[in-house]
Amino acid sequence: MTKKYFGTDGIRGKVGQHPITADFFLKLGWAAGRVFASEGHGFVLVGKDTRISGYMFESALEAGLTAAGVDTRLLGPMPTPGIAYLTRTLRAQAGVVISASHNPYYDNGVKFFSVQGTKLPDDIEQKIERYLDAPMTTVDSSKLGKAKRLVDAAGRYIEFCKASVPTRLDFSGMRIVLDCAHGATYHIAPHVFSEVGAEVVTIGAEPDGLNINDECGATKPEKLAATVLDYRADFGIALDGDGDRLVMVDHKGEIVDGDELIYIIAKSRLNAGQMTGPVIGTLMTNLGMEHGLKQLGLDLIRANVGDRYVMEMLTEHKGILGGENSGHIICLDRTTTGDGIIAALQIMAEMQDTGKSLHELKSGMQKYPQVLINVRTAKKMNPEQDELIQKSVKAVEKKLGDNGRVLLRASGTEPLIRVMVEGQQEDLVKNYANQIADDVKKAMGA
């Protein structure tokens, strides 16, 4: 059954435009409340990031849940993985996250976690959507839900993060720069890293409701890189607005992306005898990571783009580690969802155990140059069904052999064909990508 509102990562869009409106969130809270009430008794956690519209949507969801007869525990600003953890450990019926992750402040969205701390199953999302199309009602006044604020939420999550690395490790010799993206980790991440002993220089921790992800954080690590060099820090940590992405910077100011970080954690787990199953990446995972893992004797399986699909493949193949080059990193042996703070701690633990710098650890894999060209089309089209495009792709694949790859994807949201080529030589990769992009344009003209 096709879903009307829920995408691969909840519901997201521009504030004030349907469905990201106060009246829709009121109805959504009620619809979700009706489903949760029918599934059993208990309370629902509601947390948010720091964007200004979070106040409005928090109130609307709370009102809707209350009208459906469901109790609410309000967490205030809290990282998405923190809400997943608290949902599980507090045995809540569900957790609700008000966030648009790495998007600008004028976007917002909502996603749900189950009592297990994982994304809601499709059938529950479909039940919620059915109620969204039904008239809204209110339970009898004696059965209305109640709302309370959970005051120790941040402290609980801080302790959980610290417990993800052995207490024997001493990080007191490390100087780090931490960029919180003016987001939901601003009052949590600095405590985590300082309490495990590191010297922490914090930037991006002064949210005003409008500056979340603004030229900072995991999507814009350039400021972090400059600050690492200024303070002669050992490395830098960049989180995104809701704390589920991680990008790092080594002591030379070089950016270390999600693929390289996953490789480091995979090698660490393997050396400790703790690695099980394959590593799960996505269609966009760099070929250099695949080759690096192969040299370690580890398999890489590619899922569709999106942490939801990575999680599905991890479950199917009984793996413990997966993620995306954007910095979503899932360590299932530590937690139930992508978590930027916990992933960073795993990297720090490996640095401490091996005595190697982040720069040395990432050198185990060599990233291949990757060129991505977006070709705008007059209408949506499937490149796999066009003879000219497929002929062009096969010609390039033959030239690249095992040392490169080609990926063509039709955008799911706009009329674009994404042409991606990877290979060992950057100039050749650029030429091949432009060649295929030109053939895509010719095919559209034809």
Q: Where are the alpha helices (DSSP H) in 153-240?
A: 153-162, 189-195, 222-230
The answer, yes or no, to whether residue 9 has pLDDT greater than 90, is: no
Q: Choose, from 101, 164, 268, 326, the residue flagged as catalytic.
A: 101
E-strand ranges in 294-355 read 300-303, 321-323, 329-331
Domains of the chain are: 11-151 (3.40.120.10), 173-254 (3.40.120.10), 257-341+357-367 (3.40.120.10), 370-445 (3.30.310.50)
What amino acid occupies position 217? Answer: G
E-strand ranges in 127-234 read 147-149, 175-179, 199-203
For residue 413, what pLDDT band results from cuts at 50, 70 and 90?
A: low
Tokens at 104, concatenated: 């600008």
362-407 confidence digits (pLDDT tens):
998 999 999 999 998 877 777 888 889 999 999 999 999 999 999 9
**For residues 44 and 92, is the Cβ–Cβ distance under 8 A?**
yes
Strand 175-179 to 199-203 pairing: parallel
- Please state the rounded mean pLDDT for residues 18-40: 95
How many other CB atoms sit within 10 Å of the CB of residue 309?
Answer: 18
48-97 confidence digits (pLDDT tens):
999 999 999 999 999 999 999 999 999 999 999 999 999 999 999 999 99
pLDDT computed for residue 377 by the predictor: 83
For residue 221, is the peptide bond before it cis, meaning its omega torsion is within 30 degrees of 0?
no
3-state secondary structure 98-131: ECCCCCCCCEEEEEEECCCCCECCHHHHHHHHHH
- Please state the rounded mean pLDDT for residues 413-436: 91
The answer, yes or no, to whether residue 33 has pLDDT greater than 90, is: yes
Q: Where are the alpha helices (DSSP H) in 204-339?
A: 222-230, 258-271, 287-295, 307-317
What amino acid occupies position 350? Answer: E
- Please state the rounded mean pLDDT for residues 272-293: 96
Least confident of 124-133, 346-355, 371-380: 371-380
pTM for the whole thing? 0.94
Tokens at 378, concatenated: 């007059």
236-261 confidence digits (pLDDT tens):
999 999 999 999 999 999 999 999 99
Strand 71-77 to 147-149 pairing: parallel
Tell me which residue has tokens 């050992």: 234
φ/ψ (deg, to 5) at 239: -105, 165
Cα of 240 vs its chain's centroid, Å? 9
Strand partners, 176: 200, 235
CA distance 222 to 238: 10
- Please state the rounded mean pLDDT for residues 97-116: 96
160-182 confidence digits (pLDDT tens):
999 999 999 999 999 999 999 99
Look up 101 and say whether it is catalytic. yes
Closest CA to 321 of 381, 390, 264: 264
pLDDT computed for residue 412 by the predictor: 65
The answer, yes or no, to whether residue 446 has pLDDT greater than 60, is: no
**For residues 13 and 19, is the Cβ–Cβ distance under 8 A?**
yes
